[in-house]
Chains A and B, each alone.
Chain A
């Protein structure tokens, strides 16, 4: 593989950093016009580099690209370095995509806060990119904190009571999670002397014979609880709906689309899916967490009266599917979970983009107040249908295929009852989808919404782009399956 290739990987961290410096060097006056375009540009470049990296990885048949930014990691033992693999690049692609969409929506929605928004969002992107790139648990933790901190600031961007409340809840829960994660890391470090992925993986494969099995166990449980809180898996999900609902519209997109997944689910996929696939105790625990999230999330979504809150609960439910897929412990379940990770980024971002469009045009997201918007907002309404159908796992949309893989894997691992319940729970997704669609977009048009306009061009562009991905990936999925089969991943 050519050396120049690693330059590509530098861009994931270098570009946001450079842009941050530029923004603040020249100050508000000069740069105001450039914030959003630069942000979009960075995200586009990130998507392109991620795609190129994925192609190169499969071309050269390599598992990962190992490099370090500032020092030669081979000289010092235990030095941290980056080693992104296929899953990392897929995450980076999702981050770029959701970031792009966020900037597209923020452009018309936040005309007055561009300076703050762009700066913090770039830090957020930096943090998430770091999570995807690193190769040791401590750096993972550091980037997780970078991500979380910038998310707190973004949620409270307007410093209003609602935003501060949501942000505070997130901050509190996240702090508890951090304490758990840090303690857990310390306990594992006690036994391994290093937190690099391969060392921890090798240790966890044989932890009973390690020096302190009890401490390892406690450490691992704390680590998993911390990640579960960050991922918003039920029953650790209390903060999530408030944070999503109270955040400004573009911020909810990036939160719901990617942040909680990078900050929590990513680590769960790494730890449980990659390192402990054979552990039946962990798998059963996550199976229950997943099922609980699926059912509880969907039920709560049915009972919600706010568009964004419905979407937040729906996220919990969908993350339940990802966790459930991971809990199967098989390669198929892993692929299904990663694929659902991608799909969920796409369709949940679409839904949040649409909620942003509705919020911008009507100044409310309460579904009982809305009604009959489909006629005025046909693009938003239609893309909403597609995204919801994908969420509910209706073929031929992308969400169906990932769910199918997960369900098959779960059936093989945990039996038909669990798989059947998880699959049939999709009907609850259909229920809240129909409820939202009926109250917001169909039905008679209310007097006060007679003059509502379709959303601004860039918002429409965002939702059309995402809908095309949902439909497109769903339609070419048979070929993706062939590719996966040829690679021997399923």
Chain B
């Protein structure tokens, strides 16, 4: 076994470092901002350093036994490293973007504290191999999410933050009931010991409540569009790139790598996903608030991920995982572009915007690139993911399921193009606009370019994803 120091550091540096940030903020804002970025980048680099171990087949592992079937266990296997790298990469870009976006707001110390703490919780969650610790990090992320959504502190904002908190914590409590049920039946919370077991239907339903509420899938999705009241980098971080992926990640961790999913569920969950995809895509088509459109789009795209992961074959699973990466990059880009637009025009209503491409050229291009990726236009990254997911759905033996999701994909194209055309083309409504600050521009440009480049060099992520899918023994 390799010395797991780097694995522990990867979790603890952002987790504990975040509490230094308010102190650093007293010295100078610049020091704090740089430190925040460094902590997040540290996780990215540390996760990258653990890749060789994954490829060699000797993943890093830390283990400490505790009574009651508990254990402090961390394992850097392919899925964990993949997820950690995706999350910390996107988070680092978002933190960088925040330098420009958050400059003029109060409570920045709290903002950076919560963002970095959130990333720390994310790292802890992806590497944990114990159900109770997964739950623990899950709730830490909920607390951060609650404070970040309620960042502006007005009555309505706080109410919506509370709504998000209650729905996700309520789901998580039901999930915890499920975890304890697993413990009562098996005597352990340790995932590695639970490998390959079946799961009672009612336990699965309890756990699904947690996953669906966190990943904002119908019928527990309603907190996500409302949470758009948060600052744009927060929306981007939480609702596009990282937070909502926690749910699907745990789904992958539990039901791809550990528990056997019964055949009946391999139809039921895709149907839930299908309903979620269509309903939210419909909502996205009629919404006029730019952030709500993108938020509904997130719900719709999450359904694709859930479909890929739950359809019970290799192609779908690989597609679902790849979708997590592609969607994180592209959707983060879309939210950040929306942030620039909102920042400059002081409105979120797309009916009041037009012709912004003349004033915000780089933002417009970045938005287009990200939108192409989300819509699944080749050769953007999103295309490969979407193709694999739909192919996986076809493999299940229910071709109509694939058909439904193709309709969903078409709707995605419609609402994204609608937003793009309304906002960036047509008659110029805000003649005296300026582009966002350089940090913001660089961030969105980077995300747009990454969405394209990763599609061209698709063999890089797919190599890792193949490793993960191969490790699922049963197919």
Contact = CB atoms under 8 A, between A and B. Distances in A.
Interface string A428-440: 0011001000100
A443 B170 CA distance: 23
Given A427-B169, A481-B68, 12 more contacts: A392-B169, A395-B135, A395-B140, A396-B136, A411-B181, A424-B170, A424-B177, A427-B166, A434-B162, A438-B158, A442-B150, A442-B153
Interface string B207-243: 0000000000000000000000000000000000000
Contacts of B143: 389, 394
A404 B165 CA distance: 20
A487 to B, nearest CB: 10
The 9 closest A-B pairs by CB, nearest first: A485-B67, A395-B136, A434-B162, A442-B158, A420-B177, A438-B158, A427-B170, A394-B139, A481-B66
Interface string A23-40: 000000000000000000
B8 interface: no
A444 B173 contact: no
- Which one of B68, B150, B181 has the greatest number of beta carbons of chain A within 10 Å? B68
Contacts of A44: none
Nearest to A431: B166
A150 B174 CA distance: 44
Interface residues of B, number: 32
Contacts of B174: 424
B180 A419 contact: yes
A396 B165 CA distance: 16
Given A395-B136, A408-B183, A434-B166, A444 B155 contact: yes
B23 interface: no
Interface residues of A, number: 35
B67 A374 contact: no
A478 B139 contact: no
Given A431-B166, A442-B158, A411 B66 contact: no
B421 interface: no
A458 interface: no
B30 interface: no
Contacts of B132: 395, 404
Contacts of A484: 67
Interface in A321-374: 332, 372, 374
A423 B68 contact: no
A289 B184 CA distance: 24
Contacts of A482: 66-67
A396 B174 CA distance: 18
15 contacts: A332-B68, A394-B143, A396-B136, A408-B184, A424-B177, A427-B169, A430-B165, A430-B166, A443-B153, A444-B153, A478-B64, A478-B72, A482-B66, A484-B67, A485-B68
B166 A408 contact: no
A115 interface: no
B362 interface: no
Interface in B139-157: 139-140, 142-143, 150, 153-155
Contacts of A444: 153-155
A443 B67 contact: no
A407 B142 CA distance: 22
A89 interface: no
A321 B165 CA distance: 23
Given A389-B143, A430-B166, A434-B165, A481 B70 contact: yes
Interface in A412-457: 412, 416, 419-420, 423-424, 426-427, 430-431, 434, 438, 442-444
Contact of B180 (A332, A411, A431, A485): A411
B357 to A, nearest CB: 37
B159 interface: yes
Contacts of B162: 434, 438
A478 B70 contact: yes
A443 B136 contact: no
B166 A481 contact: no
A6 to B, nearest CB: 33
A416 B166 contact: no
Contacts of B158: 438, 442-443
B68 A400 contact: no
B428 to A, nearest CB: 36
A434 B153 CA distance: 13
Given A395-B135, A416-B181, A408 B66 contact: no
Given A395-B140, A484-B67, A485-B67, A423 B169 contact: no
